[in-house]
């Protein structure tokens, strides 16, 4: 039998090793872009996340409604672009309303049987756009909040991958994602909790216990977001949401965990700091 790690299988599919190399190469490009956008902020940050949201919407529509949905995509993408502009102008409520109107407009052009899915897709992409914009809008702690989020999501993803391969064991949710294991999930969450605390520690005093609890929760939600996207792909018979990113699939595949963690972090920050200081509300306890 061929070595399943170092050689492709008989169907010519890429080996796990070659796929890992692609993942690392893609990450080497994407991570500096994401960090650079967060650091520069302003219109570059809004354009970066606006483009990501539009790419996610494109993949979502193709996944749930099939190709050829140009009018549906145009309606939703226009709303997302407008929301990115309005969000950068610090009008988050207006941006949220634009996303809602865009979802309704996109549904008008969508196939009748897929209208609910299209509305959900515009909302999914729109929330993924607004959450980082709202957090980064906090001038004092916005960058720290984004770095905290990136650290949690990326550490969870990396350690869950390697922890699962190293320890194996019972599967986390076989009907949805056959490869994920409890050992990987636990490794990813514990590692992300530690890394999250270390990142926030460099930005001033706070309660490390509170930050550890938040990091733990956000890491679990990141994995829940991954499972949600896996369920949607299985629902529509797809392995990947797209093929834009080598080794990762589509943009939606790469941001599924970030979407869930960023939304939860934004809601925590808004509940404690309001729109004036959402990042402070998330990080300062």
pLDDT digits (tens, 9 = 90+) for 63-98: 999 888 999 999 999 999 999 999 999 999 999 999
Per-residue DSSP letter, 260: H
Entry pTM: 0.88
Task: Give the confidence band of 30 by pLDDT, cuts at 50, 70, 90.
Answer: confident
Q: Give residue 20's pLDDT.
A: 65
Rounded to whole angstroms, how far apart are CA atoms 200 and 114? 42
Rounded to whole angstroms, how far apart are CA atoms 246 and 193? 28
Read off φ and ψ for residue 181, nearest 5 degrees.
Answer: -120, 160
Least confident of 24-38, 50-64, 236-250: 236-250
Q: Give residue 239's pLDDT.
A: 79
- Residue 47's DSSP bridge partners are none
145 within 8 A of 135, measured Cβ to Cβ:
yes
Mean pLDDT of the chain: 89
Q: Taking the domains of the chain in order of start, what are their residue ranges? A: 16-39+141-285, 42-136
Task: Tell whether the model's pLDDT for residue 10 goes beyond 60.
Answer: no
By percentage, how much of the chain surpasses pLDDT 90? 72
- Residue 249's DSSP bridge partners are 245
Selection from 248, 24, 275, 265 nearest residue 146 by Cα: 265
pLDDT digits (tens, 9 = 90+) for 200-245: 988 888 999 999 999 999 999 999 999 999 999 999 988 777 666 6
């Amino acid at each position: 039998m061929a070595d399943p790690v170092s050689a492709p299988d008989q169907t010519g599919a890429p080996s796990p090793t070659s796929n890992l190399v692609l993942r690392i190469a893609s990450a080497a490009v994407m991570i500096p872009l994401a960090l650079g956008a967060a650091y520069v902020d302003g219109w570059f940050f809004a354009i970066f996340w606006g483009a990501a949201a539009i790419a996610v919407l494109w993949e979502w529509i193709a996944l749930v409604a099939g190709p050829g949905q140009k009018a549906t995509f145009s309606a939703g993408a226009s709303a997302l672009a407008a929301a990115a502009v309005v969000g950068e102008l610090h009008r988050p409520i207006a941006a949220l309303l634009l996303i809602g109107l865009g979802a309704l407009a996109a549904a008008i052009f969508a196939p009748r049987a897929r209208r609910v899915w299209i509305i959900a897709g515009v909302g999914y992409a729109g929330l993924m756009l607004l959450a980082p914009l709202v957090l980064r809008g906090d001038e004092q702690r916005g960058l720290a909040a984004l770095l905290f989020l990136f650290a949690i999501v990326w550490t969870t993803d990396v350690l869950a991958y390697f922890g699962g391969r190293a320890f194996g064991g019972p599967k986390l949710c076989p009907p949805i994602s056959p490869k994920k294991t409890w050992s990987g999930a636990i490794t990813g969450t514990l590692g992300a909790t530690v890394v999250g605390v270390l990142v926030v520690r460099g930005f001033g005093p706070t309660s490390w216990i509170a930050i550890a609890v938040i990091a733990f929760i956000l890491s679990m939600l990141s994995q829940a977001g991954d499972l949600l996207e896996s369920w949607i792909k299985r629902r529509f018979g797809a392995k990947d949401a797209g093929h834009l990113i080598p080794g990762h699939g589509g943009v939606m595949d790469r941001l599924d965990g970030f979407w869930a963690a960023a939304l939860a972090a934004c809601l925590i920050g808004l509940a404690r700091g309001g729109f004036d200081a959402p990042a402070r509300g998330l990080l300062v306890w």
